[in-house]
Structure 1
Amino acid sequence: MKNTIAKALFNSHSYPEYRKMVADLLVEGKSTGNEQSESLTNYSKLNDARMNRLDKTITISEKILSKLDHLDNKYIWLVLSEGWCGDAAQILPVINKMALASHKKIDLRIVLRDDNAELMDQYLTNGGKAIPKVIVICKEAGIVRADWGPRPKGATELLAAYKKEFGVLDEKIKTDLQLWYLADKGNSVQEELMQIVENIAYNRL
């Protein structure tokens, strides 16, 4: 496990590096990942524009800012992602803002899912390679303390209810999911990840 994490971190990207990598591939008409298709490239274009907007508009709540300001330990948040992933496009800008507000207590690193199959296989969701997946690592000890993802509880419940009623996840629910994220304004991501960090600190006492 430690070797897998270490290998992933060695090949990881900062948030600006990740954004540039996705944008550079789009110039070539490509998306990240092993599979290439027109639809995945179109999703990546949409997500790139969405992330540009969220980078400007996402704000961290005063409550979360205060908690980030008083973190006692340093963490690495290692995120499995891909440029075509709609959930990742909504969540990564929030996580980046949290890391920036942490006074370097949180080091955000991003790796591509398809380039890190061994790591992804250790963090499956119901047997699937759902992303984004945030792996919370205690920087000092170099050990994984928790993981989170691929989406906030409210978004997960929205998808589960739709699938139960209609049996499929179609384009309508994808639109509904994006509207959910828009209304939530990143608050659920902030609350849930902060709760994980607080639980880690509590368990260390």
Structure 2
Amino acid sequence: MIMATKMLKPESADYAAYLKKGIAYHQYKLQMAEDLVSNPDAKLKDYININLHRMQRVEKTFDISSALSGQIANLKFKINWLVLTEHWCGDASQTLSVFNKVADASNGRITMKMLYRDQNPELMDVYLTNETRSIPMLIQLDENMNVTGTWGPRPLAAQTLVKQLRSNSATAANYTTELHLWYAKDKQKSLEAEISKLIFRANLSRSGSLS
């Protein structure tokens, strides 16, 4: 049975409550490891196992550029990142570690909390991608809980690639293979550029210039 969810408007969501409910990255990984052991679905267990290894690889290989490091260091105010995700999500496994590294490097200027999509459908339905509950979806908030930007479910170049692959019957079935090859070649550089734009939008909002 499909349960109806109450549609929220962005301005009516209680973001402070969602942030309080959210979990930190290290806790998310611990719960992910527990899910790997206890999940009864063999296919989902495979996804979770692969995703844990991807996250560990990104943690080891990704380094923040000097340009983004400088941008983070110049933040004079607090940013909150609220991320809707799930353990089985392949795009999350390629991106959450990067967002976490940036948050860690901010010395408290950026706080990141994760929420499970399927436990928070009313919030997810505010941030649909082409009418679908695509994840990860990051909501950027200032210290007053105003939305200053969103990101998701993947970098624009990857989103364009997926659209092309899924529209072709010859590549639609195996599009995820090509997607993760793209991530491997890109080395999170596209994502880093989009994170920089998110932070820039936060600065515009703070100065009153964000339309």
The verdict on a shared fold, with TM-score over 0.5 as the criterion, is yes
Alignment match of 1:189 (pick from 174, 188, 191):
191
Alignment match of 1:204 (pick from 194, 203, 206):
206
Write the distance in 2 (CA, Å) between the matches of 1:5 and 1:124: 17
Cα offsets for 1:29-66 (capped at 9, x unmatched): x1xxxxx6321221011101111121111111111111
Q: Is the 8 A contact 2:149 2:198 kept in 1?
A: yes
Displacement, 1:142? Answer: 1.8
Alignment match of 2:50 (pick from 35, 46, 56):
46
Write the distance in 1 (CA, Å) between the matches of 2:21 and 2:12: 14
1:79 counterpart = 2:83: yes
AA partner of residue 88 (structure 1): A
Alignment match of 2:31 (pick from 21, 39, 51):
21
Residue 130 (structure 1) aligns with: 134
Residue 33 (structure 1) aligns with: none
1:143 counterpart = 2:149: no
Percent sequence identity over aligned pairs: 36
| TM-score with structure 2 setting the length | 0.88
* Partner SS for 1:166: coil
| TM-score with structure 1 setting the length | 0.90
AA partner of residue 42 (structure 2): E
Displacement, 1:167? Answer: 7.5
Cα offsets for 1:63-122 (capped at 9, x unmatched): 111111111221110000000000000000110111111121110100100011111011
Residue 66 (structure 2) aligns with: 62
Q: Is the 8 A contact 2:72 2:106 kept in 1?
A: yes
Q: Which runs of 5+ in 1 are unaligned?
A: 31-35
AA partner of residue 152 (structure 2): G
Q: How many residue pairs are counted as aligned between the two chains?
A: 197
Superposed CA RMSD: 1.6
* Partner SS for 2:141: strand
Q: Which runs of 5+ in 2 are unaligned?
A: 1-10
1:156 counterpart = 2:159: yes
Write the distance in 2 (CA, Å) between the matches of 1:187 and 1:3: 32
